[in-house]
A = this chain, B = another copy of it.
Amino acid sequence: MVRTFNKRVELFRESPTRKIDKIKEEEARRGKDIILLSTGQPSIPPPRRTRELLSRDLLEESSHLYSYTPTRGYASLIEAIVEDMKYFGVELEPEQVTATAGGQSALFAAITSLIEPGDEVIVLDPMYFGYWPLLDYAGAKVKTVTTTFQGGFQPDPEKLKEAVSRRTKMIIVVSPDNPTGRVLSLEAAKTIADLAVEHDFWILVDEAYRTLVYEGEHVYIYNIAPGHTVALNAFSKDPGIPGWRLGFAYGPAEAIRRIRLVVQETVYCPPSPAQRLVEYYLRDRETRLSFMEYLRREYTRRRDTLLKALEEHLPEVVAFKPQGGMFVFADFTPLLKGMTAEELAVRLLREEGVAVVPGSYFSQTHKGSIRLSFSGEPPERLRLGVEKIASFLRRAG
């Protein structure tokens, strides 16, 4: 026997944004000030009140905070999540909820539990790139439904119907969306729910940005098709602890039980400090709601600053006004002049110190687009970033 490796693991590739991250770190080490328009990483720490409670716990002479927790999470955390979801109009039993080690852990566990090799999965394009390696690893056959700037990135009902076959096992929807910031319309949600019930397939809905909605309202598709929906959530964006790794999945108990078993085998339990922090956050309703409102206000202001700067300095760019999330997705095609969007992204980073993510990482069709984050920098630096992009493109043009 030669010491070979598992071949399916070869399907995993370094996350494409890590390429951008590496150049970013190189430039930062050279002392360059980098304007971070590439990351879905909040620049705002969780509420001070919540952090103070955990800070105090660390000084207690007890081992409780350090112990293993149940794989599903502390019973008291699950209760807090059920209460919180109820506030948003979703009624769940505790056995319909399981905590995960962040959003990625929820994605991996859900796709691993629900997909069998050869199953067809419908996805929208553009889509968060993190789904691709998981779908390849699971052996899914992917059918893509393209969405457009003109259509507000809502999936077209006719195209959805055409994509469904007898082998459809799942549709994946991210709402609010990454990278487009589109919030799924009630009409689109109903179409998807109807198809799922009629053809008996799963809806996997990624709601990581659900509380960051600036216009309209997040539709809980679970409430339309409860037997067919598995919803994935994360605390990475609100209260903003991506590195702490906590999320949760909810849906039919039989699906949740399996997701929990995959979490057990991959990480044993979600990290306890994140569970404790989030429990403090969710149980203090006043702090939770006012912080959520603060994030919403602050991110609306940043989004609007970014959009205005684009309009002013780069009028050729078609930018979609996001209804939620952390990103502006914008078509730079008329300005690329032979460059690919990835080449543009690399040059912006090396020459201007502005980090963005090329649309080609998310899309087969919107390859001339760029994803610009407004979560990682204050308004004045968002403006500065756009000015630098504009000045670079003027020189390059």
Taking Cβ atoms with an 8 Å cutoff, the residues of A that contact B are: 1-7, 9, 12-15, 18, 21, 39, 41-46, 48, 51-52, 54-56, 58-63, 65-71, 101-105, 108, 112-116, 119-120, 133-134, 137-138, 166-169, 199-202, 228, 240-245, 254-255, 258, 261-262, 264-274
Q: Evaluate contact between B55 and A41: CB separation under 8 angstroms.
A: no
- A74 to chain B minimum Cβ distance, whole angstroms, is 10
Q: Evaluate contact between A67 and B1: CB separation under 8 angstroms.
A: no
Residues of B near A65 (CB, < 8 A) are 45, 243
- Identical subunits present: 2
Q: Name A167's closest neighbour in chain B (CB-CB).
A: B1
Residues of B near A43 (CB, < 8 A) are 63
In angstroms, Cα B114 to Cα A3, docked, is 8
Q: Evaluate contact between A67 and B166: CB separation under 8 angstroms.
A: no
A9-B112, A59-B52, A271-B101 known; A3-B266 Cβ under 8 A = no
- A17 to chain B minimum Cβ distance, whole angstroms, is 10
* Among B2, B6, B54, B265, contact of A12 (Cβ-Cβ < 8 Å): B265
Q: Name A273's closest neighbour in chain B (CB-CB).
A: B273
- A172 to chain B minimum Cβ distance, whole angstroms, is 15
Q: Name A240's closest neighbour in chain B (CB-CB).
A: B66
Residues of B near A240 (CB, < 8 A) are 63, 66
Residues of B near A274 (CB, < 8 A) are 271, 273
Residues of B near A116 (CB, < 8 A) are 4, 6-7
Residues of B near A113 (CB, < 8 A) are 5-6, 9
Q: Evaluate contact between B41 and A61: CB separation under 8 angstroms.
A: no
- A386 to chain B minimum Cβ distance, whole angstroms, is 22
Q: Evaluate contact between B67 and A242: CB separation under 8 angstroms.
A: yes
